[in-house]
Structure 1
Amino acid sequence: MIRRQRGFTLLEIMIVLSLLAVLLTLVGGAILGANRAVLKADRYTASLDERRAAQAFLRASISQALPLDISDDDSESSGFFEGSEQRLQFVATLPGTLGGGIQLHTLTLGGPESDRHLQIAFAQVKGNVLRAWGEPQVLLHGVRSLSLSYRGLTAKGEPTGWISQWPWPNRLPRAVRIKVQMKGPVGWPTEVVALRLDLSGGAGG
Structure 2
Amino acid sequence: MRRSPAPGFSLLEVLSALALLSLLLLGVFYGIRTATRSVNTGSAVLERNDQARSLQQFLRRDLLQARALPWKLDAKGQGVVFEGEPRRMRFVAPLPGYLDRTGPQLQTLTLVDAGKGRWRLELGSTQLSPGGAGVDVGNEVLAGDMSDGRFRYYGREREGLEPRWSDRWNASARMPELVTIELDRGPRAHDAGARSANDDREDGMAWLWLQAPIRQSPNAINVGALAKALPEGSSP
**TM-score, normalised with respect to structure 2:** 0.71
Q: Can you list the C-alpha shifts for 1:83-141, whole angstroms capped at 9, x where unaligned? A: 011111111111232353323222122322433233322333354453333542223x4
Distance 1:201 1:135, change over 3 A: closer
C-alpha root-mean-square deviation of aligned residues, in Å? 3.0
CA distance in 1, matches of 2:16, 2:107: 71
Out of 166, 188, 191, the position equivalent to 2:210 is: 191
Aligned to 2:15: 14
SS at match of 1:107: strand
Distance 1:87 1:135, change over 3 A: closer
CA contact (8 A) 2:66 2:92 kept: yes
Aligned to 1:165: 168
**Aligned residue pairs, count:** 201
CA distance in 2, matches of 1:121, 1:199: 24
Offset at 1:9?
Answer: 3.5
5 Å matches for 1:121-140?
A: 121-127=124-130, 128-139=132-143
Aligned to 2:110: 108
CA contact (8 A) 1:172 1:203 kept: no
Unaligned runs of 5+ in 1: none
CA distance in 1, matches of 2:219, 2:165: 14
CA contact (8 A) 2:55 2:142 kept: no
Distance 1:163 1:89, change over 3 A: same
Offset at 1:167?
Answer: 1.5
Bigger drift between 98-107 and 19-28 goes to 98-107
Unaligned runs of 5+ in 2: 187-198, 225-236
Distance 1:100 1:11, change over 3 A: farther
Distance 1:99 1:197, change over 3 A: closer
Bigger drift between 89-98 and 106-115 goes to 106-115
CA distance in 2, matches of 1:16, 1:30: 21
Aligned to 1:31: 32
CA contact (8 A) 1:69 1:79 kept: yes
Offset at 1:150?
Answer: 1.6
Instruction: Indicate the percent of aligned positions where both proteins have the same amino acid.
Output: 28
Distance 1:18 1:200, change over 3 A: farther
Q: Can you list the C-alpha shifts for 1:30-88, whole angstroms capped at 9, x where unaligned? A: 1111111111111111111122122211211112111223349xxx7662311011111
Aligned to 1:176: 179
CA distance in 2, matches of 1:145, 1:78: 32
Distance 1:126 1:18, change over 3 A: farther
CA distance in 2, matches of 1:171, 1:40: 45
CA distance in 1, matches of 2:178, 2:219: 9
Offset at 1:13?
Answer: 2.4
